[in-house]
Amino acid sequence: MASPPSTTTTYFFFLLLLLNTAAVVRSQSYIGVNYGVTADNLPPPSATAKLLQSTSIGKVRMYGVDAGIIKALANTGIGITIGTSNSDIPALAADLNFAKGWISSNVSPYYPASKIIIINVGNEVLYYSDENLKTQLLPAMQNLQNALEAASLGGKIKVSTVHPMSVLGQSEPPSAGRFDPKYEALLKGFLEFNKATASPFMINPYPYFAYQSDPRPDTLAFCLFEPNAGRPDSGTNVKYMNMFDAQVDAVRSALNAMAFPDVEIVVAETGWPYKGGDTEHGATIDNAKAYNGNLVAHLRSMVGTPLMPGKSIDTYLFALYDEDLKPGAGSERFFGIYKTDLTSIYDIGLSKTGQGPLATAPAPALSPPADAPTTGGATTLPTNSSTTTTPTTTPPNSTIPQYSPTARVNASKNAGSLNTIAISFIAIVFLAVTSML
């Protein structure tokens, strides 16, 4: 007969449980944020680092290499994703020594104190018309990977690239998601690289841009994770309840169809502007709070998506701050979650000291505003801090993911309360442990 566990064993069991629960409350490694620098009023890196440490944000993505921020994040445990510029791709592809020099200048001085986890080679390269750049992208990634290995960093830092959602040729329903045939040959090479190096396939889903061109009455609620009738997927008999899940699952289906079921998806950008131009319907502070807040709650719920249940995809919110110098549509300058004075523009429950239930955003109207299109119109693809895209015209019945009906699992409106429960549980466990000493 086995002996009962000793007091010491029990103590360590409870201590482990306590630490694990504390980790749930204090941070979420799957919640990231984009840090863009197309602005003239950003706070100093040290202040930004302190802001990030006060939140449950576990990762930061940059579009280039900002030495100030990288140094400021040293020894914080916050994961850092950096990037090469699109203009660096030809040199990276042609010359391994150039790639080694890039690692020597931009990674080695900071790692491992600064937790660099991913290097993105370029950004949304497949969106642009430069065919040479597209064919040079994979050799550039391979050379950068070889340079990491030469620096004894292979396997410690991943190499990837970020793709636009327009790489999908079909996305509705999500189970029928497929890549555009014109990209398949290129994507096969990228995916073989992702699989061989265990690096993620990174994508930019934006339900906001879907709403701009989808006139169905419940689209706004569907995009904001708010109550709606849902949209069925005839291929799986699943009813999707939000656009984010459907867009991500359309990518999952496309990866599976190309026989890469084990390649991980990372959401490199997603967000909602709180202000925009006169014709940018839906760009309001209430909608931005609802989308980002409900997305954070959905991620914390660990429900996952219908095709990837029981886990939360690493997701980088766009963006930490507004970027007042960005060109393009008015909304491009108003995606920030925090002001540059370090106060929040709207609260989505990211503060470590305030991770209780998220306030419910005002219920959205279940019909498009007066300026919304009455038929499918121009599809505005997401833009970012390193490049600004221009609208492209898409037929009303386009299957680009911005039109796809989406996701079955509703983010729990009370998912944020998990943290409150966890805090209470920590107190109970602490009392239990102390009573045994």
**Class of residue 10 by CB neighbours under 10 A (exposed 0-12, middle 13-18, buried 19+):** middle
* Active-site annotation holds for 332: no
* Tokens matching residue 15: 């201590």
A 10 A CB-CB count for 362 gives 13
Tokens of 366: 């279940």
Exposed e or buried b for every residue in 269-295, given b needs 16+ CB within 10 A? bbbbbbbbeeebbbbbbebbbbbbbbb
Please state, in angstroms and rounded to a whole number, the distance separating the CA atoms of residues 89 and 96.
12
- CA-to-CA distance for 276 and 283, rounded, in angstroms? 5
Count each helix (H run) and each strand (E run) in the chain, helices first: 12, 14
Task: Identify the residue whose tokens are 């890039």.
Answer: 102
Looking at this protein, which amino acid is placed at residue 44? P
pLDDT computed for residue 378 by the predictor: 27
Which DSSP helix (H) or strand (E) runs through 16?
helix 7-26
Report the chain's C-alpha Rg in angstroms: 22
Contact indicator for 243, 224 with CB cutoff of 8 Å: no
Residues of the chain with pLDDT under 50: 1-25, 356-430, 432-434, 436
Catalytic residue among 124, 172, 226, 280: 124
In this structure, the chain runs to a length of 437
For residue 112, say if its preceding peptide bond is cis, omega within 30 degrees of 0. Answer: yes
What letter does residue 413 receive in the DSSP assignment?
A: T
Both structure tokens of 52: 């990030």
What is the rounded distance in angstroms from the CA atom of residue 180 to the CA atom of residue 401? 11
Q: Among all chains, which residue has been given the structure tokens 């502070």?
A: 285
For residue 345, give both structure tokens: 């523009």
User: Which H or E run contains 118?
Assistant: strand 116-123
Query: Which one is catalytic: 172, 269, 323, 332?
Result: 269
Burial of 426 (0-12, 13-18, 19+ CB in 10 A): middle
Residue 250 has which token pair?
């359309």
Please give the single-letter amino acid code of residue 343.
T
Dist CA 143 CA 90 (whole Å): 11
Nearest to 111 by CA among 139, 148, 140: 148
Our measurement of the distance from residue 326's CA atom to the centroid of its chain's CA atoms, rounded to an integer in Å, reads 20
Is 124 annotated as catalytic? Answer: yes
Which region, left, alpha or beta, applies to residue 380 given φ > 0 means left and ψ of -120 to 50 means alpha? Answer: beta
Do 148 and 111 touch, CB atoms closer than 8 A?
A: no
Q: Is the peptide bond before 173 cis (omega within 30 degrees of 0)?
A: yes
Per-position b or e across 197-225, b if 16+ CB within 10 A of its CB:
bebbbbbbbbbbbbbbbbbeebbbbbbbb
